[in-house]
Homo-oligomer: A and B are copies of this chain.
Amino acid sequence: MKPLLLALLAVLPASAVLAADPEVPYPTGYRYWHHVKSMVIEQGHPQFDGFGGIHHIYANASALEGYKAGTFPDGSVLVFDRLEAKRADNAVTEGARKDVAVMLKDAKKFAATGGWGFEAFGGGDPTRPVVGADAASTCYACHAPEKAHDYVFSRTRD
């Protein structure tokens, strides 16, 4: 590696280096993909610490085929878009983005985690991947029991 590049890397924050070539990239444009379903998780729910708030699932075109087929083709991307759930006056409204979690199917590359790569971007910031090398313990461990649905929890609906 050239000295200048090494020097540049030395002054960059770790997150910027990770973002330069993440295993699972930020899913640019996902807010214009198909909205699969939504859910609100509130205090007292066993998943509140990791998933509290209102979340929406989005699927790219390949992932849509996957829901229908039962197994997802390589290139499928699913996004779990989590916002704060603001409760007031007998309503729940959307607040700030908490994170954007992503599943990317590549059966060969991610064979150790069911064929899926996992990442999450803190605050929805493409330069803040927060999972990195911890995908097996942080994400796949919970998805593993969903093997019959190709490790995907969500189902499409009309």
**How far, in whole Å, are A37 and B35 apart by their CA atoms in the complex?**
10
Asked whether A45 and B124 contact (CB < 8 A) given A38-B38, A158-B31, the answer is no
Asked whether B94 lies within 8 Å of A37 as measured between CB atoms, the reply is yes
**How far, in whole Å, are A48 and B89 apart by their CA atoms in the complex?**
11
Interface residues of A in 13-62 (CB under 8 A from B): 31-32, 34-35, 37-45, 48, 54, 56, 58
Asked whether A94 and B157 contact (CB < 8 A) given A31-B34, A35-B35, A45-B89, the answer is yes
**How far, in whole Å, are A157 and B94 apart by their CA atoms in the complex?**
10
Cβ–Cβ < 8 Å partners of A56 in chain B: 35, 38
Asked whether A91 lies within 8 Å of B34 as measured between CB atoms, the reply is no
Asked whether B38 lies within 8 Å of A90 as measured between CB atoms, the reply is no
Besides A32-B34, A39-B91, A92-B92, 7 other A-B contacts (C-beta < 8 A): A31-B158, A39-B92, A40-B91, A41-B90, A45-B90, A45-B91, A97-B158
